[in-house]
Structures are given as structure tokens and as C-alpha cells.
A = this chain, B = another copy of it.
């Protein structure tokens, strides 16, 4: 299966935790505590998110991190890109060494681009808000039709 790094998974948990209170600063300790993700890992996450422009940081005593935009303006693609680099389905994309041993490989590189574009746009259309809002079970009284769609899969 195509693996999404676990870090990205955590990032979404942490970011959505922050999304609860936009504009508030959250310390690493605070976020770790409320998300269940170990603190050093949260720190690592944020160190990637901030340069990428997804969060803003405030140093010093009353410092911390805050989302730089509302959750519905942050796409999953951005989060993945911030952590795992450019979204692409191949091993040799970053133009590192031109020789990939298996020469016949390269003639068909062009085909991957088509695939990559499709995936990229798919990922750009899903926002952080989409990830938290729709399937939260706030109360037992669910929407009428949602009963048929979701419960098929056991939680995750």
C-alpha cells in the first residue's frame, strides 16, 4: 500500500487540535497533552509546519504555536508536502543522480507525471476541516442517512 508517513498522520491530529481555537497559542506540551502524541514528536512536527507557513510561532515565555489560517483553508496536500516533501509517486523525482541503473525505466517517467498530478489535485481538495468535521460523533443523534454510509467500517 502507498504509505503515508505516520508523522503526517500525527500532524493532522495535532493541527486539528489547534483548529479548535484559532488565534490561540498552544505550547508543545499543551498539544502533546491533548493529542496524545509524544511531546518531542509534536515539537518535530511543528518545526516542519512553521517554515511551511501552516503555523506561526511565538518564542519566549508566553510563546507557542498557532494556526496561520482557518482549518478549511489548509489542504491535506500542504501538510503532506511540509512533512514528506513534494507529492510524487516515484523514487527518483528529485533529479538527484541521473543514472537509475535500470535504463528502460526512464522512458516512461512521463507517465508518472499524469498520475502524480491526479493525486496531487485529489489531495488539494481535502482540507483539514474536512478531516475533523464530517465524521465526528458529537452526539448519538446522527444524521438520517449517515447511518448507512459510515458504520460499515468499524471505527477506523
Contact = CB atoms under 8 A, between A and B. Distances in A.
Nearest to A103: B36
A58 to B, nearest CB: 24
Contacts of A89: 2-4
Contact of A104 (B13, B114, B115): B13
B37 A102 contact: yes
A39 interface: no
Nearest to A127: B111
B90 A9 contact: yes
Contacts of A154: 95, 98
Given A2-B88, A119-B122, A123-B115, A109 B76 contact: no
B1 A76 contact: no
Contacts of A10: 102, 105
A59 interface: no
Nearest to A4: B89
Interface in A111-133: 111-115, 118-119, 122-123, 125-126, 130-132
A13 B115 contact: no
Contacts of A88: 1-2
A107 interface: yes
Interface stretch (A22-30, A45-53, A134-142): A134-142
A84 B2 contact: yes
Contacts of A1: 84-88, 93
15 contacts: A2-B4, A3-B89, A6-B91, A9-B90, A10-B105, A13-B105, A36-B104, A76-B115, A95-B156, A100-B155, A110-B134, A111-B132, A114-B126, A114-B130, A115-B123
